[in-house]
Structure 1
Amino acid sequence: MAVPKKRTSKSKSKKAQWRKKSLSVSRKSLSLAKSLLDNKSNSFVYANFKSINND
């Protein structure tokens, strides 16, 4: 006897995609923050206001 396949709901798959995307963005931002704290960033330009005001 043929049994129909179980269907996955669209809302669950959309949530999984959203979570995967947010995890990727959070990892990138954490990596950028760590590199800024260690002064190792090459691709991100920012003004260091402490050094500008102290000169």
Structure 2
Amino acid sequence: MAVPKKKTSKSKAKSRKATWKRKAWVQSKLALSLAKSTLSGKSNSFIVQREEEVSN
């Protein structure tokens, strides 16, 4: 028969949630930074062909 596990404390739950949100925030910040560098043409991580360059 299934036995319920002990309840997780509020502080532990909040700590896990804060860690999860922090990881998401860092990833969104990196993605925005990469998008800005790609649009400015200063990206060194990969090459992007723009429509102007392709048509010329």
What TM-score do you get using the length of structure 1 for normalisation?
0.67
CA distance in 2, matches of 1:23, 1:42: 23
Q: Unmatched 5+ residue regions in structure 1?
A: 1-6
Equivalent pairs, count: 47
Q: Unmatched 5+ residue regions in structure 2?
A: 1-8
Structure 1 moving runs of 4+ over 4 Å: none
Deviation at 1:8, TM superposition (A): 4.8
What TM-score do you get using the length of structure 2 for normalisation?
0.66
Q: Residue in 2 aligned with 1:3? A: none
CA distance in 1, matches of 2:48, 2:33: 16
Computed over aligned residues only, the root mean square deviation of the Cα atoms, in angstroms, reads 1.8
Contact 2:38/2:48 (CA < 8 Å) preserved in 1?
no
